[in-house]
Structure 1
Amino acid sequence: MLNKLFSHTGILEKALDAAWLRNEVIAHNIANADTPGYKKYRVEFEEELKSAIEASTLKGKRTRAKHLEIGASSIDEVRPRVVRTGGTQMREDGNNVDMDEEMTSLAKNVIMYNALVQKISGEFRKLKTVINEGRR
């Protein structure tokens, strides 16, 4: 039971890290909204995490180093990636930052971050309750 709690908390921690990184990337995009030729960045994380969670139910055991791994990578190996968005252009100077889109993404990310903080705080409150009730 305790391993399951900490595994769940680890996923929430990774999601918090990704939300923090996404906030920094969005702020960087907004700061460069008037820079000629600037191409915006985005953070990719949720799809990789989803794939790792779905594949974590079936994992093959490697008995030798030369054997191929069966199943997806561990959830511990999932990391948010910063990707540059090219090919699109919003203005004549080559900049592709849309301020309305960035501000919407920022608001959405702040809401997600706050929800994740509340969720992880709830997990630790549960653990604290279990510890305190066990003392009685």
Structure 2
Amino acid sequence: MLESVTSTALSSALDALSIRQRAIAENISNVNTPGYHAKRVSFEKELTTAVERGSGSVEAVVQRSLEPTRLNGNNVNLDTETMSNIDTVLRYQFAAQALSGQASSITKAIGQASA
């Protein structure tokens, strides 16, 4: 596909959202593990800056959550993880549809040009 800031940004977002999804799954699977600290994945601010600079390419940053811990040292909140999971799935679907729509438009334009 022809590379554009939009397609690069959408691809970066899909990669980062995939990393976030894995972090959420790991957090949920460790909800009862003593001493486990939840992981948080951020990329949105960096993506905005990259698009403004005309690049659109970013890497997700994975960090330990600084949220308070329970007595066992674990800070995973199942409600937070569930809501984050729903948000992440919806964002991923939106970005995937946008990228697919862009590819469809390019394919249609190429087909009309060759006709």
Question: TM-score with structure 2 length normalisation?
Answer: 0.92
Instruction: Give SS of 2:73's match.
Output: coil
Partners of 2:22 and 2:67 lie apart in 1 by 22
Residue in 2 that maps onto 1:107? 86
Instruction: Give SS of 2:41's match.
Output: strand
Aligned equivalent of 1:28, options 26, 29, 54: 26
Alpha-carbon contact 2:5-2:51 (below 8 Å) kept: no
How far apart are residue 49 of structure 1 and its match? 1.1
- Long gaps (5+) in structure 1: 58-73
C-alpha distance after superposition, 1:88-124 (max 9, x if no partner)? 21x2101100001101100110011011110000000
Q: How many residues align?
A: 115
Identify the structure with the greater helix proportion: 2
Alpha-carbon contact 2:39-2:63 (below 8 Å) kept: yes
Residue in 1 that maps onto 2:76? 97
Partners of 1:92 and 1:112 lie apart in 2 by 34
How far apart are residue 126 of structure 1 and its match? 0.2
Aligned equivalent of 2:65, options 85, 104, 109: 85
Residue in 1 that maps onto 2:11? 13
Alpha-carbon contact 2:10-2:99 (below 8 Å) kept: yes
Question: TM-score with structure 1 length normalisation?
Answer: 0.78
Partners of 1:11 and 1:86 lie apart in 2 by 28
Aligned equivalent of 1:127, options 67, 92, 106: 106
Partners of 1:24 and 1:34 lie apart in 2 by 18
C-alpha distance after superposition, 1:51-107 (max 9, x if no partner)? 2223x16xxxxxxxxxxxxxxxx543x210101113521x21011000011011001
Percent of residue pairs bearing the same amino acid type:
36
Instruction: Give SS of 1:34's match.
Output: coil
Structure with greater Cα Rg: 1
- Long gaps (5+) in structure 2: none
